[in-house]
Amino acid sequence: MDIELSQSRVHGRARAPPSKSYTHRAILAAGYSAGALVYNPLNSADTQATMRAVEAFGGDVDRDTDEDVLDVTGFDGRPGVPANVIDCANSGTTMRLVTACAGLADGISILTGDSSLRSRPQGPLLDALDALGGRAESTRGNGQAPLAIKGPISGGSVSIPGDVSSQYITALLMAGAVTEEGIDVNLETELKSAPYVDITLEVLDAFGVEAEQTDDGFSVPGGQSYEPTDGEYHVPGDFSSMSYLLAAGAVAADEGKELVVAGAQPSAQGDSAIVDVLERMGADIDWNREDGYITVQKSDLSGVEVDVGDTPDLLPTIATLGAVASSDTRIVNCEHVRYKETDRVSAMAQELTEMGATVTEEQDVLTVHGDESSLEGAAVDGRGDHRIVMSLAVAGLVADGTTTIAGGEHVDVSFPDFFDVLYDLGADVRHVQ
């Protein structure tokens, strides 16, 4: 499905969707428990993949849309051998978290996904499961899905790189809590995307599981049970998704009017850094942390340098802001952003260039020359990546003319009603079959 946007002004109040990162972890944590209620979950293509995985291991997930709650009957730390292949679709988080969970089952589990997911690196996590006494293989021998995982593992100590994906660490910590020995994860390199592990530790704590950061990495004792307080968990709002709304307000809000984003309670999410980035660029933005809402107005933006080592999902948003700014925006420490649903560094460089931006792409740096950019409506490709689609939509709000984005349906991964929200805020946006 294509999306057409014409230059627009936006204002009003919107609510960010629930956090995808927290929802994934909460669903699986509930699966590891005897049972739990997960309130305010994100219902998206990615999180549905994690729900299916919990059911494949012997749990059950019932959704009450009236109460906006998932009633999860868990497998109580003992996942069964799936009766069929687990299809993780396009969800890298699902595949990595579920890979470690599969290592606990007494038998062989097969995991696969779509063509994009089957191109993403899984090798370090497979090696870790091998080192823990399981057998973990890529069926094609290239460290990518489909994967065959045989357990059960009993725990132990492993070494793993920290600069490929923090999800490897999350997967091992979540599974390690219910092993006999626990798991010590020693990092071989600096940890990238560290706030995502902080999210994991926060969710584990909410489910009564002890885990900690150590001098060498992370450690989780074994023999624990997942038992959330009062049997329930509440998912916070998603700052990754919020970034597109805040960017839209900063570049396209009606003169003298505000765009207000609700659901912005503080949490461990690293992507709340988007507020600081916008402030440094000169945006008129205010975050009421106590009440959980952010107000932003259209502002004259200046380029800045942003290190996305801990916040890779913000790169597409920041690149779009850079194309509207009055000077260079340098996004550094971004090589790991190439290993997402698509190579997001090249994708943003190429698609923004198609819209009239001037961009310099290096392996670990993306520079957007705002003073040399003048955005024009164009036909661009969302690359089957929800974050590319939404970032290009923000660019389309200020581009002269009409922008057509191919693959608009992929926002279903994290923000299913994104374009409806934009429309309600005043954007001239249309669905084209």
| Residue 21 assigned to a binding site | yes
pLDDT tens-digit series, residues 220-238: 999 999 999 999 999 999 9
Q: Which residues constitute the domain of residue 164?
A: 20-234
pLDDT at position 312: 95
Question: Is the same domain home to 39 and 153?
Answer: yes
Distance of alpha carbon 181 from alpha carbon 317, whole angstroms: 42
Quick one: 309 and 379 in the same domain? yes
- Considering only CA atoms, which of 79, 82, 71, 83 is closest in space to residue 37? 71
Known binding residue 326? Answer is no
Q: Per residue in 245-275, pLDDT tens?
A: 999 999 999 999 999 999 999 999 999 999 9
Q: Are residues 227 and 325 in the same domain?
A: no
- Least confident window among 60-69, 103-112, 353-362, 382-391: 60-69
Q: Is 193 annotated as a binding residue?
A: yes
Place 35 in a pLDDT band, splitting at 50, 70 and 90. very high
Q: Which residue among 189, 210, 234 closes a domain?
A: 234
Q: Across all residues in the chain, what is the average pLDDT?
A: 97
Is 25 within any annotated ligand binding site?
A: yes
Residues 174 and 312 in one domain: no
Final residue in a domain of this structure, among 211, 234, 257? 234
Same domain, yes or no, for 40 and 89?
A: yes
- What are the tens digits of pLDDT across the range 172-206? 999 999 999 999 999 999 998 899 999 999 999 99
Alpha carbon 154 to its chain centroid, in Å, reads: 29
Q: What is the DSSP string of 271-327?
A: GGHHHHHHHHTT-EEEEETTTTEEEEE-------EEE-SS-GGGHHHHHHHHHHSSS
Same domain as 415, residue 285? yes
Within a 10 A sphere around the Cβ of 2, how many other Cβ atoms?
15
Question: How many domains, the chain?
Answer: 2
Strand partners, 369: 328
Identify the pLDDT of residue 65: 87
Residue 293 sits in a domain whose CATH number is 3.65.10.10
- Are 31 and 7 part of one and the same domain? no
pLDDT at residue 67, as a whole number:
86
| 287 pLDDT tier (thresholds 50, 70, 90) | very high
Q: 119 forms bridges with which residues in the sheet?
A: none
Residue 205, annotated as binding a ligand: no
Domain boundary among the residues 216, 234, 252 is at 234
Looking at 310, 313, 381, 385, which residue is catalytic?
313
Residues 262 and 400 in one domain: yes
DSSP string, 124-149: HHHHHHHHTT-EEEETTSSS-SSEEE
Please indicate, yes or no, whether residues 312 and 208 belong to a single structural domain of this protein.
Answer: no
Q: Is the domain of 141 the same as that of 229?
A: yes
pLDDT tens by residue, 317-352: 999 999 999 999 999 999 999 989 899 999 999 999
Residue 313 annotated as catalytic: yes
Query: 433 pLDDT exceeds 80?
Result: no
Looking at the structure, tell me whether residues 283 and 194 fall in a common domain: no
Q: 176 and 267 in one domain?
A: no
